[in-house]
Structures are given as C-alpha cells and as structure tokens.
Amino acid sequence: MGEQPNPAVELAIETRGLTKRFGHQTAVNAVDLAVPRGSVFGFLGPNGSGKTTTIRLALGLAAATSGQVSVLGQTMPGRLKDVLPRVGALVEGPGFYPFLSGAANLHRLDSADRYAPSATRRARVHRALDRVGLGHAAGKKVGAYSLGMKQRLGLANALLMPRELLVLDEPTNGLDPQGTREVRNLVRSLAAEGTTVFVSSHLLAEVEQMCSHIAVMSVGSLVAQGTLDELRRAGESRVRVRTPDIAAALRVLAALGLAPEQTEPPGRAGGDGNDDSHDDGVVSAPLAPDSRPAEAIVAALVAGGVRVRGFTVERASLEDRFVALTGEGFDIAQ
Amino acid sequence: MLLALAAVPVLIAVAVRLSSSPPEPGRGPPFLDRVTQNGLFVSITALVVCIPLFLPLTVGVVAGDTIAGEANLGTLRYLLVVPAGRVRLLLVKFAGAAAFCLAATLTVVASGALIGAALFPVGPVTLLSGDTISVGESILRSLLVAGYVTVSLLGLSAIGLFISTLTVVPVGAMAATIVLSVVAQVLGALPQFEWLHPWLFSHYWLDFADLLRQPIAWTSFGDNALLQAGYAAVFGALAYGRFVTKDILS
Ligand SMILES: Nc1ncnc2c1ncn2[C@@H]1O[C@H](COP(=O)(O)OP(=O)(O)OP(=O)(O)O)[C@@H](O)[C@H]1O
Ligand SMILES: [Mg+2]
C-alpha cells in the first residue's frame, strides 16, 4: 500500500530492488518486500508473476540480477549457512526419491543438516510425519504416494526442526479439504508459537482466513503490500439498489456525486417471485471511502421518488482487490 | 549394475569351461589362455574385458547422475536449503562415485575369483616375469589390480561429475560421459594422435600388467595415478566453478 516499512519492526524477509532476469525476460522486477517477524504473510499473484522466483532468490537457490535480500536479519546468499538452518521451506512442490519411503526421505534430508541432532532424528521424523497426517504412510515408498501425500511430506520436511521462518510455496496444492484445513490450523499454531510463515498461494479465501499480511505480485512487480485490513480497505465498496425506477435511481445517485451504472436491466433482478418485483433492475455505484453514509443515500433515493426494493453496501472482497491489482486477463502475461 | 558386472567373469569362466578345445594363446582377450590352468586368472581376464566399455559405462551412469539426478527429482533444491552446502555436496558426490568405482572393480575381481576357483584348478600363479607366487600373494595382486583400475576410473568420474552440473537431464549427462570415454579410446587407438595419447584419461587403462611382474614395476601405477589426479583436479575445479554459482531452478 505504498506504506513505508516501519523500521522499528523486525523483518523476517526484506528485499530491496530485488530483480531477476532470465535472458530478456524480467521475472522479478525491483521488488521491495517487507515481511514482519511473527506475521503470517500471504504472497499472492497470478501464474508466472514471479512468486517462486522471489522465493528461490530469498533462499539462495538462485542469484539475483540486482538488488538485495536479507532473511532473518542476515544478507543472502552471503550468510546462507547461518540463515538456512533456521528456515523451513517448501519450494515449488515437493521433491523426493521415489524409491525410498517417506520416512527414509526425511531421514536423508535431516542427516544432510549439520545442526540437526542425530540422536533425536527418529523422533523428529516421526513427529513431523504425524503432524501432517502421514503417520500411517511413513513406510510407504514415495513413488506410491498420491499428489497430496507428497505435498504433505514436503510440509513434514519443513517441520523437521523448530524454525524461525517457514517459507511455503503453495502448500495446499493438491490437498483434500481436510488437508487444506489442517494446513491452515498448522500455520496458525506455528504462528502462535512465534514462527513467521511466508506462504504463497492462489487460494484467496484461504489466504483471507489465515494471513495477517499480504503482498500481491503482478508480472514480476510488487503491486501491493500491507496488512490484510489495509488491503481490503483500499478496495472500493459498492452500493447496489434494486428498483424498477432505473432512470430515476441513476439520476439521484449521479446528483450525489457517484458514478452509477445499470448492472441488471429491469425484469432481471426479481428473483424471489414476488409479484411486485418482476420489473426490478439493479443500479450500482462505487462508493469512495469518504462518501456520505449509506442511510443518507437511501434517504436521497426515496426523496427522489425511487421505489427502493433492495439496498446493499458491498465491501470489496479480496478477490475483487486482487483482480483490480493484477488485471482481468486470463492469459499469462509474459 | 554391480550384478551385471559380476556376471561378466561368470560368463567368461563358463564359456571357457564348456568349450572343448582350450583357448589358444594370442586369441581372445589377454590371459584367456591361462584360465584353464589357473582359475585365479578369471578375475584378470574379466577386468580386461570390462575396462574398455562395461566399466566406463557403469561409471558414466553413476557419475552422470550425481547432480543432474538430484536436480531432475527436485531433491537438489531441498538438499541446498537444508543447507547441505554446495561444495560439501560436490565432495560427497565425488566420493560416492569413487566408492562406486572401487565397488565395481572389486565385484568383478571377487566374482572372478569365486567362479574361477569353482570351475578350474587353483594353484601358485606364474607371473608375466616367469616367477611363481603363492595363491595368497596372487589374491593380493588381484586386489592391487583392482585398485589400479579404480584409480583409472577417477578421471572419468570427475568428468561425469562436471557434466552432471551442466544439465538437469541425467540421461544426457550419462550419455555424454560414456561417449567421452569411447572417444578417448578411439583417439588413443589412432596413431595420428600420438602427441595426444599421454594426455588421454584412458591412456593407462590397460597398463596394469606391470603389477603382475616380480618385482612390481610401479611406474605405470604412478603415471596413471598422477594423470587421474590431474583430471580429477581440473574437472573438479570446473564442477566447483559451475555449481557454486549455478541458479537452481529445477
Ligand atoms: N528456469 C527458468 N528459465 C526461464 N524463465 C523462467 C525460469 N523459471 C521461471 N521463469 C519465468 O519467470 C516467471 C516467473 O516464474 P515463477 O515460477 O516465479 O512464477 P510463479 O509466480 O511462481 O507462478 P505460479 O503461480 O505458476 O507458480 C515466469 O514468466 C517464468 O516463465
Ligand atoms: Mg510458483
């Protein structure tokens, strides 16, 4: 939201002018991300907008073309060895050896971690698998896992050690409704323990339910960033008036300084079968945050002779906001 | 793969045992004619048969898979965010490939000794120099030859490791490594490239006969070790240079 990051807030991830080019294509373009510690940070954006690439840069998997990243207060990739043991990550889907069991895969990754005590390895693997509901499939070969099971195993890998920061790239991809809900609960409980969770997702309803902060990417650029409320508030609300007197309603609303439009022609809005509503239409207008209160608009409409049969003020959903920021187009932008 | 390698000596021994006429000296692989007199020669014969193609093939598969295989499965990014450390990963992978070279040659030697002892008489061995050594010492010599062949394959392993850092397609890296080993041997067979021969990693591959003399002539072992160390250093450095700065996008 164009808001300057508050320097007093400690940041778990901070990027300054972060840019990554693949050939002539700019996948990440001058991104200034500020992820406060302790937040559950939703990272949104259409397919190909640069979310995964940003995550790769933050984790030191790829080198930035220009700009800086710091994670947990240390610059990356320079301090990678100090930073990454405190970070759990799921990047662009899980990656495991299909010929090993789920538990054996976790054992192998855990033994690659020099800070992970081998004495507690068995117990930690067991606990991580239980946490994602894979306790019963621990001995099964990963090659025989379903998509959602692999995804859960990827999450378990991120949870092997207590972490200060979790970076989860589309964690609920391929999960069933129970799994999705479990992930949400998991993220909440981790956040309650003080872990910062940075989660990229397309599921706006999901993000709305679990995130405290949000950033939106579009074609490689960061187009919005702030708390969930700030982002929602910035979206426009709309008034919707159901009435047969379309022309009068348009006139009154315009006189109030709004920009009304007819969203349903007469006869289309009377869905409830009442005799007197068969000729209703709908007029709606965007509502600026500082415009007059809703009741004053109703009063003006009634005074103007408009038969008001329905009146609602719709707050912008995150989806509206998302589409407003990233565009309607379905095609991949680059 | 180790099973396939173990099958080579068995194949040789069984073929020689079943054929009515003993192999004539000078035909077939070196040492083949001695197999009927002493089963301990099966190991050496099998190694000679495996060195040009079969061993480089298996080493190419293992070394080509080291990094590219992990990248292909997506496990590479998870190893790196652990963090396993890129240099450490390279070293572990090279050590793994070297361990495979040793296991592969030992498999051929052990399988050869076992099948040789089962199908042919075993006794004191007459060396190339004419001296005779005991069975115990001959086993020691076999292990020495296995060590020589293992060292011979280290250069190729390093080449495979480097190629493996260039791609995310393991089959490509494997094929390229194997092709290189064939090309090196073809160049080694052409007299027009004589100036190049001492620099080919396959130059000393079959020169372990010196280890079968009394006293042992260590020069070829030393030359080979030096050459292989050179290859390992050069291609290890190239792999390091490539991998440490590589963007992991798989
Ligand atoms: N290895 C690569 N080589 C070239 N271009 C790449 C590479 N990886 C990603 N890109 C490009 O970078 C852009 C951003 O990709 P990225 O994977 O970061 O998107 P994303 O936001 O994670 O998308 P999704 O929601 O589909 O996961 C895309 O246009 C993609 O084509
Ligand atoms: Mg992605």
Question: Where do the structural domains in chain A lie, given as residue ranges?
Answer: 11-233, 237-315
Tell me the C-alpha distance between B48 and A194, whole Å.
64
Homologous superfamily (CATH) of A237-315 is: ACT domain (3.30.70.260)
**Beta-carbon-side half-sphere exposure of residue A305 (alpha carbons within 13 Å):** 4
Predicted confidence at residue A1, as pLDDT, reads 44
Predicted confidence at residue A277, as pLDDT, reads 62
| Complex ipTM over 0.90 | no
Residues in chain B within 8 Å Cβ distance of A60: 80-81, 83
Tell me, using a 6 A CB cutoff, whether residue A53 lines ligand 1: yes
> Quick check: is B218 in a domain?
yes
Range of the domain at B232: 2-17+27-244
Strand blocks (E) in A244-328:
261-264, 281-287, 310-314
3-state secondary structure string across B107-124: HHHHHHHHHHHHHCCCCC
Residue B187 has pLDDT above 90, yes or no: yes
Which of A18, A49, A330 has most ligand 1 atoms within 8 Å of its beta carbon, as the pocket-test mutant? A49
Residue A202: strand, helix, or coil: coil
Helices (H) and strands (E) in chain A, counts: 11, 15
User: What six digits make up the tokens of A99?
Assistant: 């010929």
In the predicted model, what is the mean pLDDT of residues B87-97?
96
Which among A61, A63, A93 has the least Cβ separation from residue B80? A61
CA of A161 to the centre of ligand 1 (A): 29
What's phi and psi for B32, nearest 5 deg? Answer: -65, -35
Crossing angle for the helix pair B86-119 and B219-244, nearest 10 degrees?
140
Residues in chain B within 8 Å Cβ distance of A91: 77-78, 81
B17: Cβ–Cβ under 8 A, 6 or more apart, which residues?
B119, B120
Query: Which residue blocks in A222-314 are alpha helix, DSSP H?
Result: 228-234, 246-255, 294-303
**Confidence grade of residue A276 (pLDDT, cut at 50, 70, 90):** low
Residue A312 forms beta bridges with which residues? A240
Which ligand lies nearest to the CA atom of residue A45 in the structure? 1
> Quick check: is B22 in a domain?
no
Predicted confidence at residue B129, as pLDDT, reads 81
Q: Do A186 and A213 meet the contact criterion of CB atoms below 8 Å apart?
A: no
Number of domains present in the structure of chain B: 1
DSSP B207: G
Which among B75, B80, B81 has the least Cβ separation from residue A97? B75
Tell me the C-alpha distance between B40 and B125, whole Å.
8
DSSP A141: B
Residue (of A153, A177, A229) closest to A1 by Cα position: A229
Single-letter amino acid, residue B24: E
Residue B54 has pLDDT above 90, yes or no: yes
Residue B98 has pLDDT above 90, yes or no: yes
Q: Do A298 and A311 meet the contact criterion of CB atoms below 8 Å apart?
A: yes
Sole residue written with tokens 């020689």: B16
Which ligand lies nearest to the CA atom of residue A20 in the structure? 1
Least confident of A252-261, A272-281, B19-28, B83-92: A272-281
Fold that domain A11-233 belongs to in CATH:
Rossmann fold (3.40.50)
Residue A7 has pLDDT above 70, yes or no: no
Strand order in the sheet with A213-218: A87-90, A165-169, A196-200, A40-44, A213-218, A221-227
DSSP B220: H
**Confidence grade of residue A3 (pLDDT, cut at 50, 70, 90):** very low
Q: Do A214 and A224 meet the contact criterion of CB atoms below 8 Å apart?
A: yes
Which residues on chain A place their C-beta less than 8 Å from a C-beta of chain B? Answer: 56, 59-63, 80-81, 84-85, 87, 89, 91-98, 109, 112-113, 157
- Full-model pTM: 0.86
